[in-house]
Each structure stands twice: as structure tokens, then as C-alpha cells.
Structure 1
Amino acid sequence: MTLDALDAEGEITYYAKTDAANSRSSPQGIVRRRIDEDRMDDEAFTRNLRWEPTEYLRRYELGHNDIDHVEITEIEAAAFIQSLTRRLTTGDAES
């Protein structure tokens, strides 16, 4: 599941959404920007356990920056996806 969730084409940059209560190691959520040829797509990994389109990064660039973000590695993105998947499929709030 986790590896499938990271499978995508193009140049990919992952970001962790952070705030006072959510650090890079325990983010509020993650988003990614995929650039493939002339196309750019922004997606968030959602509670539906899949990548879905998001306007977060574009809105942030326009000044809607109430929630900050930091660039993360693919390994950090995989850890978040694995943790979220575990919490949502087993009800384990500690994961």
C-alpha cells in the first residue's frame, strides 16, 4: 500500500503541512507537487488513503499561508502514509 501510494511519474517534491501543534515528524498532512513534461499537479494524501488534487500549494503561493509546510523526503512521506493507513484501518490513535 505505502509503495503504491508513492508510485508516480515525473519530478516529485513532497511537503509536510506543519503548525504549532504539528511538526515535520508528525505533520498535519502531506502534499506533493508532480511535474511531468509541461504539466504540474498538486495532490494531498487524504483520509481516503489516496492522492487527491489540492489547491494548497497554489493558494500558499498567493498568500493564503495560515498553515506552513516544509519539504520532506520520500521516506518521510512513506512513514506518514503508513502511519495514517494504520490509524484509519485499525483505529490505532497511537500510530
Structure 2
Amino acid sequence: MPDTNEPAVHYFALVDDERGYPDGWRARRIIGLVRRTATRPAPTDEALGRDFTWAPTVYLQRYDPGTDAPHEEISAESAERLIESWRASRARSDAEGVDRPRPESNPPIGNAQT
């Protein structure tokens, strides 16, 4: 059972729905992950970086959840599965020694200093 003293954390997947294909089908691709922790006096927003660490972001201030911005709320369990799949993909690429362009895992969403 979760500790009731812990602040609520909400995760948001950043979705690239704009990549259309010639046959008309659209591919949903998650390109980033942000989270909002219900801290006081203001919530703490963070984005997951390419190094799998959380860093401050202003994304959720710019694109309020519930708007038409390209993100959707996901569960903590889904967020963890997504992070693990990205880690596994990175490990496979590193093991293969392939120096190929990495898919974007974080959109340019800024940070608290901007």
C-alpha cells in the first residue's frame, strides 16, 4: 500500500502522432516522458533525460495536461515499463557497438532555467 504522506506523481507520455505513412496509417511513437509531483507551494515538473535521470522542465507549464498538446497521462507502471524498454534498447545498441542516430527520447521541452 502506498505511503499516504508521499506526494502524488502523474506521468505523461509525449506522443509523436504526426508521422503519417503513405498507406494512411499513422504510427504512435512515444518520444519522451515527463512527470509532475504534487509538491507545495507549486508542483515539481521533470523530464526524463537520455541518461535516464530526471531533470526540471517547464513542459507541463507550457502545455497544460488536458489540452490538445501531444501528450497523454499514463500510469506509473506504464512509465516504468517504458523506461525499462528504453534501457534495454540502449543496452542492445551499446552491445552491438553500432553508432547510429538515436531516436529522440526527449523532445526539446526546455528546463527550469529557460
TM-score (norm 2): 0.59
Higher strand share: 1
Give the fraction of aligned pairs with identical amino acids, expressed as a percent.
33
Q: Residue 13 of structure 1 aligns to a residue in which SS?
A: strand
1:87, CA displacement in angstroms? Answer: 1.6
Give every structure 1 segment of 4 or more consecutive aligned residues whose post-TM-superposition deviation is greater than 6 Å.
Answer: none
1:81-92 to 2 correspondences below 5 Å: 81-91=83-93
Structure 2 equivalent of residue 52 of structure 1? 55
CA RMSD in angstroms, aligned pairs only: 2.2
Q: Where in structure 2 are there 5+ consecutive unaligned residues? A: 1-5, 20-26, 95-101, 103-114
Q: One-letter code of the match for 2:48?
A: F
TM-score (norm 1): 0.70
Whole-Å Cα distance in 1 between the matches of residues 55 and 91 of structure 2? 19
Higher helix share: 1
Q: How many residues align?
A: 79
